[in-house]
Amino acid sequence: METIIILKTWGCPCGYNQDSEPLIDTLCPRCGKFNIERITDDSKKIIVTIAGEENIDQEIIDIEDRKSKGTGFGDPDLSTKEKKNSYKKERMDEVKEAIRVTKLKEDTLS
């Protein structure tokens, strides 16, 4: 299942948003008219969606499909069950790390 994380967000009325707190009160780098401030409206915060296991299963299907059509240049070799399992484990590890890192920026005030 995909993981959805709402990030702490700072932004400007012009629509510019960032997921890191400004080091000092600073004008928006896009418009230069307003200071960047913490956003409290969830609908305006940055939302990150991180792939789940079903997305990785679909990646494998897509890779195998491209390989069968002869268009999978640069795709990993998934020609054996062991290689598929290894690829899936590697991708799941990447997903877990992405969730861990992104949760550090999660907005707990939502």
Give the pLDDT confidence score for residue 66 in this predicted structure. Answer: 96
Query: Cα 41 to the chain's mean position, in Å?
Result: 21
Q: How does residue 10 score in pLDDT terms, banded at 50, 70 and 90?
A: very high
In a domain, 99, yes or no: yes
Q: Considering the domain boundaries, does residue 24 fall inside one?
A: yes
Whether 22 maps to a domain, the answer reads yes
Q: How many structural domains comprise the chain? A: 1
pLDDT of 109 higher than 70: no
Q: How far apart are CA 61 and CA 65, in angstroms?
A: 6
**According to the model, what pLDDT value does residue 59 have?**
96
Handedness of CA 57, 61, 67, 70 (dihedral sign): negative
Q: Does residue 110 form part of some domain?
A: no
What is the extent of the structural domain holding 8? Answer: 3-103
Q: Is the pLDDT of residue 103 over 90?
A: yes
Q: Is the pLDDT of residue 110 over 60?
A: no
Strand 37-38 relative to strand 10-11: parallel, antiparallel, unpaired? Answer: antiparallel
- Paired strand residues for 10: 18, 38
Q: What DSSP string runs through 82-99? A: HHHHHHHHHHHHHHHHHH
Whether residue 108 lies inside any domain: the answer is no
Q: Quote the tokens at residue 89.
A: 């484990």
Note whether residue 37 is domain-resident: yes
Per-chain mean pLDDT for the chain: 94
What are the pLDDT digits (tens) for 23-77? 888 899 999 999 999 999 999 999 999 999 999 999 999 999 999 999 989 999 9
